[in-house]
């Protein structure tokens, strides 16, 4: 049976949501598994991060602990690599992978990696758009006959989030590539442990891929509504 455009888009959004749930569950499972695999070097996530930063000639970035689970991130504004408590003090393969990945962002920042600069520039705009886009969309639907431009403004705000998600993909994949290059090149991880770290980072990257697909399909969905009015 043929599904109309709106129904087809809804089905696609549901499928992406299900895939996203599966990917997130797998990510949690992989990190839990490799959080129990210790490597002979005995370095904690903090140690790994500091070594990678210094090996890349970066001495003005601090490595700090942040509350939560998988809350790890690099903050270019404060030049801090923020590692979750389970990563900061752990000497597991998972901790090494996460710490190196976040330092990959610090290296991007130091090397003025273009996609990271673009993503950082979009953060204030995306923060505003994500907060107000749906309200503008709803208002636009209510005023579609009298002020149709409002609906397109809402779509534009959703488009900003979609662009941000797409730009995030090369940023995250590149950070993981830099992480693995250093982890293996410095012999911090070798053999099976390096493969395990690569698997963990691959699943983390897939969450960003699903998010980008969801953002793009959502944008297409609302554009389809506007064009059919």
Q: Name the residues annotated as catalytic.
A: 102
**Closest among 99, 110, 97 to 57, alpha carbons compared:** 110
User: Is residue 12 packed enough to be buried (19+ CB in 10 Å), middle (13-18) or exposed (0-12)?
Assistant: middle
In sequence order, what DSSP letters do the residues of 15-49 get, joined into one string?
Answer: HHHHHHHHHHHHHHHHHHHHTT-B-TT---HHHHH
Show the tokens assigned to 99.
């710490």
Q: Is 83 helix (H, G, I), strand (E, B) or coil?
A: strand
At 73, give phi and psi (nearest 5°).
-165, 160
């Amino acid at each position: 049976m043929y599904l109309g455009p709106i129904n087809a888009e809804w089905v696609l959004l549901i499928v992406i949501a299900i895939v996203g749930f599966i990917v997130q569950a797998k990510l949690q499972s992989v990190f839990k598994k490799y959080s129990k695999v210790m490597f002979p070097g005995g370095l904690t996530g903090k140690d790994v991060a500091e070594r990678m930063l210094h090996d890349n000639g970066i001495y003005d970035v601090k490595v700090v602990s942040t509350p939560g689970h998988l809350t790890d991130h690099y903050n270019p504004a404060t030049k801090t690599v923020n590692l979750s408590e389970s990563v900061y003090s752990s000497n597991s393969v998972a901790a090494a992978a996460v710490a190196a990945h976040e330092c990959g962002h610090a290296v991007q920042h130091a090397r003025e990696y273009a996609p990271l600069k673009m993503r950082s520039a979009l953060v204030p705009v995306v923060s505003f758009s994500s907060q107000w886009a749906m309200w503008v969309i709803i208002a636009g639907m209510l005023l579609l006959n009298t002020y149709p431009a409002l609906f397109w403004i809402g779509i534009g705000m959703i488009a900003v989030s979609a662009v941000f998600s797409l730009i995030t993909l090369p940023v995250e994949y590149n950070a993981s590539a830099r992480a693995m290059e250093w982890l293996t090149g410095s012999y911090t991880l070798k053999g099976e442990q390096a493969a395990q770290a690569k698997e963990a980072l691959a699943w983390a990257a897939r969450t960003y891929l699903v998010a980008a697909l969801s953002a793009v399909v959502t944008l297409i969905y609302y554009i389809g509504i506007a064009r059919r009015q």
